Chains A and B, each alone.
Chain A
Amino acid sequence: MWEFLQTYGPRLLDGALVTCAQFILAALVACVAALAAGLGRLSSLWPVRSLSVVYIELFRGTSLLVQLYWIFFVLPLFGISLPKFEAGFLSVGLNVGAYGAEIVRGAIQAVPRGQWEAGYALSMSPAKRMRRIILPQALVLMLPPWGNLMIELLKGTALVALIAVPDLMFVAKQINGATFRSAEAFGAALVIYYLLARVLITPAMRGLERAMARRLGRA
C-alpha cells in the first residue's frame, strides 16, 4: 500500500486537482443557472417562466450521463464544439443547477409574506426588493439544502472521466488498467473523494451557513 502511494500518489493528486477545478467551475455554473432559473420560474412574464420550467424539467428528468454525452457528442453537430474540460463542468453544473433552481424557488417562496409587503410599503422597485430584502433572507434558508447538493455535484464530476477529462476517477481507471491493482487504485480514489466531501465541502458550507445567519442577526 505504501509503495503504491509512493508510486502513484502524485498522479492521484494531479487527478484530484482536476476534480477540484471541475468542482469549482461546475459549482459556479450551477449557482448562476439555479439563481437564473429559480427567479425565472417566479417571473410574471410567461416566456421567461416557461423557459425556466423547460430547463429545469429537461435537466432533472434525464440522467447526468445522458446530458454529458449529449453535450459532448451531439452538440458539435449543431456547430457548438466544446472541449472536453468545458463540456464536463458545464454539463455537471447545468444538471445540478436545475435541482438548485427548485431550492432557490422554494426558499424565495418561504420568505414571509410580511417581508414582501414591507418592501412594497417602502415603495421599493421589485428588483430592489428582491435584491435587498428577499434574496438575503432566502439565501439563509437555501444554504442547508445547497450543502447536500454540493456533495452531489462533487460526485457528479466523477462522470467527466467518461469523456476523458483526466480527473481523479480517470486517473484511478488508468492506474487500474496499467497495474490491475484495483483495490488500491479505486480505494484511494474513494478515500480522496470522501475527504474532499467531508473535510473541505461540508465544513465550508457549515461555515457559510453560520456566517450568513450571523449577518442577518439570527445566531
Chain B
Amino acid sequence: MTFDWNWEFAIEILPRLLRATINTLIAAGVGYGIAMILGLVFALALRSSGRLPRTLLREVLEFIRSTPLVVQIFFIFYVGPQVGITLSPWVAGMIAIGLHYSAYLAEVYRAGIEAVPRGQWESCRALNLTTRDSYVRIILPQALPHAVPGMGNYLVGIFKDTPMLSVIGVTELMQAANSIGSETYRFLEPYTLVGLIFLALSLPTAGLVRLGERRLRRKLGL
C-alpha cells in the first residue's frame, strides 16, 4: 500500500464520519455537563467540610488529575460489572470523562471563588444571609466570570479527549474511523479526515474562547 489519496473514497466515507462527529459532540457535551456539576460540588466541598475530609478529597482529586483518562475509562467500564453494576460503554465513558474533568473544573471554580474579595463575604454576614444564600446570590455570580476562561479551555480539552472513548467501543469519530479502516484496509483517508474534522471544530472554538476571555477581562477591568 502506497500513498494514494482517493477522493472518491474520502467523499464516500465523509457522511459516516460526520454522523459520528455528532456523537462526539454529544459525548463532549454530556461529559462536560457532568464535569461542571460535579466540579462545583467538589469545589464547594473543598471549602466547607472539616479538615480531614478536605485533605482526603484534595488527595482524591489529585489522584484523578494525575492518572491517565484511558485507564480510568477501562477501570470504570470493567470494574462496574464486577460489583454488580453493568454499564453500557456510553454510560461508563460519560462517567469517566465527567469525573476526570470535574477534578480540573473544581480547581477552576476554587480559583474563581477565591478571587471574590473578602469584603463580599463580610457583607453577606452583615446582611445576615445564610451560607447557601451567600453562595447562590452573592459569591458564585461574581466567581463565575473569573472561572469562564479556564472552563472554556477545558471544554476544548474534553472535546479532544473524546477519542479515548473509542477504546471501550463508544461509537464516536475515532471509532468510526477505526471501523472504516478495518473494513476497507484504508487508513489514510479516515484518519486524515478525523484530524481535519477535529481541527475544523477545535480551532474556531479555541479562538472563541480566547476572544471571550479578552472581552471578559476588559469588562471586569483586569
Q: Are A and B co-members of a single complex? A: yes
Q: Is the CB of A176 within 8 A of B3?
A: no
Does B87 sit at the interface, judged by CB under 8 A? no
Q: Which chain A residue lies CB-closest to B62?
A: A198
Q: Which residues of B contact A (CB under 8 A)?
A: 1-3, 62-63, 65-72, 74-75, 78-79, 82, 160-164, 166-167, 174, 177, 181, 187-188, 191-192, 194-195, 198-199, 202-203, 206
User: Which residues of A have CB within 8 Å of B166?
Assistant: 65
User: Which residues of B have CB within 8 Å of A183?
Assistant: 75, 79, 82
CB within 8 Å of B: which of A160-219?
161-162, 169, 172-173, 176, 182-183, 186-187, 189-190, 193-194, 197-198
CB within 8 Å of B: which of A51-97?
57-58, 60-67, 69-70, 73-74, 77-79
Count contacts on A: residues with CB < 8 A to the other chain.
Answer: 40
In-complex Cβ contact of A69 among B66, B71, B191, B199 (8 A): B191
In-complex Cβ contact of B68 among A155, A176, A182 (8 A): A155
Query: Given A63-B161, A197-B66, is A74 in contact with B192 using a C-beta cutoff of 8 Å?
Result: yes
A158 and B67 alpha carbons, distance in the complex (Å) = 9
In-complex Cβ contact of A66 among B82, B174, B181 (8 A): B174
Does A141 sit at the interface, judged by CB under 8 A? no
In-complex Cβ contact of A162 among B167, B181, B203 (8 A): B167
Does A26 sit at the interface, judged by CB under 8 A? no
In-complex Cβ contact of B71 among A60, A73, A79, A172 (8 A): A172
Q: How far apart are A160's CB and chain B's nearest CB, in angstroms?
A: 10
Does A28 sit at the interface, judged by CB under 8 A? no
List 12 A-B pairs, Cβ < 8 Å: A61-B199, A61-B206, A67-B195, A69-B187, A70-B191, A73-B187, A77-B2, A79-B3, A151-B65, A158-B68, A169-B68, A193-B68
Q: Is the CB of A78 within 8 A of B71?
A: no
User: Which residues of A have CB within 8 Å of B198?
Assistant: 61-63, 66
Q: Is the CB of A186 within 8 A of B75?
A: yes
Q: Which residues of A contact B (CB under 8 A)?
A: 57-58, 60-67, 69-70, 73-74, 77-79, 151, 154-159, 161-162, 169, 172-173, 176, 182-183, 186-187, 189-190, 193-194, 197-198
Q: Is the CB of A190 within 8 A of B72?
A: yes
At the interface, is chain B mostly helix, strand, loop or mixed? helix
A187 and B75 alpha carbons, distance in the complex (Å) = 7
A161 and B167 alpha carbons, distance in the complex (Å) = 11
In-complex Cβ contact of A74 among B65, B70, B74, B188 (8 A): B188
In-complex Cβ contact of B164 among A61, A159, A173, A182 (8 A): A159
Q: Is the CB of B195 within 8 A of A158?
A: no
Q: Is the CB of A151 within 8 A of B203?
A: no
Q: Which chain A residue lies CB-closest to B81?
A: A182
Q: How far apart are A61's CB and chain B's nearest CB, in angstroms?
A: 4
Q: Which chain B residue lies CB-closest to A197?
A: B66
10 extra A-B contacts, CB within 8 A, seeds A187-B75, A194-B63: A64-B160, A70-B192, A151-B66, A155-B66, A158-B68, A176-B74, A182-B78, A186-B71, A186-B74, A193-B68
User: Which residues of B have CB within 8 Å of A176?
Assistant: 74, 78
User: Which residues of B have CB within 8 Å of A162?
Assistant: 70, 167
User: Which residues of A have CB within 8 Å of B206?
Assistant: 60-61
A63 and B201 alpha carbons, distance in the complex (Å) = 12
A116 and B206 alpha carbons, distance in the complex (Å) = 31
User: Which residues of A have CB within 8 Å of B69?
Assistant: 155
Q: Is the CB of B74 within 8 A of A62?
A: no
Q: Is the CB of A186 within 8 A of B79?
A: yes
Query: Given A63-B198, A79-B3, is A189 in contact with B187 using a C-beta cutoff of 8 Å?
Result: no
User: Which residues of A have CB within 8 Å of B3?
Assistant: 77-79
Q: Which chain B residue lies CB-closest to A76?
A: B1
Q: How far apart are A122's CB and chain B's nearest CB, in angstroms?
A: 36
